[in-house]
Structure 1
């Protein structure tokens, strides 16, 4: 399809199209002249067999949406970081092991999905994407999340389910707009006490973490407000800092003080009944946004 697709792209360039959908077309290689359609704002290449992207992809400076869902990409060209007007990027269900250097250059990106890949480390540069609202990184090989994510002050959703994460950065408690934190299916033992200070949180899901401390389960079963209050309590803080050997911050607020408990918060614990696999996967990744 390479030659015919190249000719089609030439025609589309002349028409100055702004949207191009090539879904499930059996495309295994994208012609270099894709970068000549400088008027493009939305490019959907989902459900193909792409193994690589041409460096010319970086010429699409007006692109706001890039959907590469369900391909066979093993790496991304550095030039993809030149798409500074991107607002939504879906890279889920590929074979990526890492994100390219300079990945923090996106000035307008609010939605990023890299679920269902083989990423072992999330670049710290992601903390430079100040506009990011939703981050979906489920079903990868992550053992930790970068502290730098706490700089993304617009973040509302972090879906990091089904990785190998051992602990969460306490700095995430500084995220002023965080509503959903999904960390189901990891290797957590504790939730940092500071998370009791998340003022906008509506749901914390730490189900299927088999080593999670039993007191967290016991309080979560009694309801989200009880859990949040427990995270703030001197009792939990004593357990947490004693068992983790971490220094206890002097500015933590205990539950004995007047504190505001987030309303309408829901929490899923390790006792939650598992969803069918297909339902679970659908929730973990947004295929097209």
Structure 2
């Protein structure tokens, strides 16, 4: 490992995509087709009113498993046209097929994306050597900065500390969306690489910052973005008491949004707020009245109103 990669993350570490990113839902029309006008409106809302530095398009929350390659391309183009001059736009391109991921990364680069999010291949459970090859081949094939996405409870396989250290040596693998929930492992990697760690679990944002993380790729941030950004900035500025107070305030939503798949509850909340969302695609199902009532309680507990 080169000396360059022994610097470790921390307050002076690179922040390649800003501090706050939201994994944006994909607005759909009532008939289930893509709502591109809605996507433009929602992207503007997330950047202008919820203080996002960047948006992730076609992540898990964006229903990437059930949108086509063409829909992903259309969505990305519209979001880049709408907010690409004032926020970074990161394209979710990860699949469990290296060739397909490379194709999606090429399309994202052509569309003008500022980076790509690449999830660990799911379901086929590759060994660590296969993960190293997957991420390396994707990074070799694109000119864009790559954020690796480590989410073993969905993918079925985790990126080990050693694997993360190995792929960190690639000049274009610059960041990790860390949804592993293992703060000791994260701490090991942030102390030995200059990967920018973005928390992938809203409730763990503050502890992740404490061990060298740089920010959050959030889900509840469709609703909590502006306050979450304040929390991150307070921590970075050294006002840890203010950061802790905001963490405690927002915790009911940081956790409540994941009572079901986050997509379902975020779309329900956005619809109530009159923002573009629409239905979810099967096999997901739309939120029930009981789930929406619970979400209203979670919002009230966080000091936010959901009508």
TM-score, scaled to structure 2: 0.31
| Higher Rg of the two aligned structures | 1
More helix by share: 2
TM-score, scaled to structure 1: 0.33
